[in-house]
Structure 1
């Protein structure tokens, strides 16, 4: 008797697809926008502070004087702040960032008008060289530059006794007159002149700032070498006081031609420097030659030069024919070479 076939065992299907581990959740879009907004705000802090101090005509306290030297370059973080604020979709922040960028750009415009009408006909052509030889290390290079360029007036900062002797000896015939502060290190300074010098004076300062009156084409011209302390942390007060003494020397009761040159340790973005221009009705020769943003410092070290702190300032008795900036091997400053015309009545 045939047996019935046994029922087939139920077939159970086993799935081979195992669930994949879940991917970590990406940060919510709102969280990313918040981080972007914070980054934009941080980028805007320094440009806002420094451009505000420039607009309100104050040098403030450390670190404001130091950061004012970087004012034009602060447009970079301000511009990045605008982009990040827009990416974060924060309208108020984006508007604030645009305002800060505009304020930074406006504050970086050259100070004072460029077109100045000088009175009178040209009386004499005067070439002026202002140089900081950095503890006399660039003395030899400066001697070569003077021989090559043949200036009639040379203002030399950080020129010690040996430097002063080398310069006066080398140019005993071409620049026989001089006024100086004979000292060691950065204190020494010398003013060499092809014109007779009288009425020598020294502005009291930590570093030498001699001055004198030169007779040029029969006109007495007041000359002053400038070399105040740098605005290092802890000496911003003395820096302001010494710039104030230069300002007082510029504000003379007797009007007449005035020329102040040297290492001012200040740029056009510092209120204390602008006060000197205003007190003596002076113009920066670099501004008149459309070169007021040409950096002169630092010429040594890891950073490229980023600020102009070496200047030739002239009263309206002078017109500027041209200006050049010379590299001096051994110095952390560029020298300033200005070609001027002294004007007046014949």
Structure 2
């Protein structure tokens, strides 16, 4: 009986150490390497969970070795754990330590919400806008029916809008407290990304946008990369002296290199800039949200606060961000 328990214990320890090693290596590879595979893109979304597994499994393995009095092996394993976990944890570090806000300009509160084929509860969304004093609302998957329901309800709080409604998931739009000018929808994209310039009192022009590249899975990996590239080109075409705030369903997490390429030349993920951690947004209608694919990106401004909020009728949690303009 004792021998059987020792065998089982050894298997558990070996499994913990082996699983932790594999998970830590996978975190680093998935975060830094981009492959033309839909499965690779899907696996990259799970990096925070793999990291959690590694952080739990490796210490358990070391503790198990100590209990079995294999101190030298435990010490060696602990060294391996540190070497592997350090770069894995480093991939998520930027999300946990925000910048000090140095801007002293007007505060802009933005909310981005994927309506899931227009099915989000319009009354609940408007209540959220009113309760949180939202200045700009970005919506994706805006159908004609959703536009008909939302626009009258928002008339008193966000009376200005640039909308491109369409059936299924194609439509997108911007509702704002301030006048919107110079609107454009990106050409040659399946899902609509719309940009406009908001005239913010006390500051002036701010380029705002609602982005929605297609998902990389199950079969649209190349289209996803292409549409992320088109969003990147449009954002980097904005003059450097114009602040930019873009919200949307990017169908990508912090760990996708393709999303982080958007952050070149001064762009920041609001969750990373504010140190808000893992802002998980999807799927909200199945137990708990697992991954964060909805983001607010900023340039020439500073995000001071980010959180996700539930909206009935859609599978995405909305993302609220407070942005301080220069």
With normalisation by structure 2, the TM-score equals 0.83
Show structure 1 runs of 5+ residues with no match.
1-22
Q: What's 1:229 paired with?
A: 214
- Cα deviation per residue 1:145-182 (whole Å; 9 max; x = unaligned)? 22333322110111211101222222224322211222
CA-atom RMSD, angstroms?
3.0
Within the candidate set 230, 237, 249, 1:263 is matched to: 249
Within the candidate set 112, 117, 121, 1:130 is matched to: 112
When structure 1 is superposed on structure 2, of 29-38 and 65-74 the one drifting more is: 29-38
Answer yes or no: is the 8 Å Cα contact 1:115–1:288 preserved in 2: yes
Q: Does 1:61 align with 2:37?
A: yes
Alignment of 1:167-316 (within 5 A): 167-203=150-186, 204-217=188-201, 219-252=204-237, 254-255=239-240, 256-279=242-265, 281-302=266-287, 304-316=288-300
With normalisation by structure 1, the TM-score equals 0.79
Cα distance in 1 between the residues matched to 2:12 and 2:310: 45
Q: Does 1:161 align with 2:172?
A: no
- Cα deviation per residue 1:233-259 (whole Å; 9 max; x = unaligned)? 322222222112221122126211111
Alignment of 1:29-68 (within 5 A): 33=10, 37=14, 40-54=17-31, 56=32, 58=34, 61-68=37-44
Q: Aligned with 1:311: secondary structure?
A: strand
Aligned-pair CA distance for 1:215: 1.7
Cα distance in 1 between the residues matched to 2:108 and 2:222: 35
Aligned-pair CA distance for 1:187: 1.1
- Cα deviation per residue 1:182-221 (whole Å; 9 max; x = unaligned)? 2111111121122222221112422221111122236221
Distance 1:34 1:156, change over 3 A: closer
Cα distance in 2 between the residues matched to 1:62 and 1:84: 33
Cα distance in 1 between the residues matched to 2:162 and 2:234: 16
Q: What's 1:75 paired with?
A: 51
Q: Between Structure 1 and Structure 2, which shows a larger proportion of helix residues?
A: 2
Show structure 2 runs of 5+ residues with no match.
none
Answer yes or no: is the 8 Å Cα contact 1:71–1:104 preserved in 2: no
Q: Aligned with 1:230: secondary structure?
A: coil
- Cα deviation per residue 1:251-309 (whole Å; 9 max; x = unaligned)? 12621111111112222111111111224x1222223333131322221114x223222
Aligned-pair CA distance for 1:139: 3.3
Q: What's 1:9 paired with?
A: none
Answer yes or no: is the 8 Å Cα contact 2:282–2:290 preserved in 1: yes
Aligned-pair CA distance for 1:321: 4.4
Distance 1:32 1:276, change over 3 A: same
* Equivalent residue pairs, number: 314
Q: Mark the structure with the bigger radius of gyration.
A: 1
Within the candidate set 312, 323, 326, 2:306 is matched to: 323
Distance 1:253 1:175, change over 3 A: closer
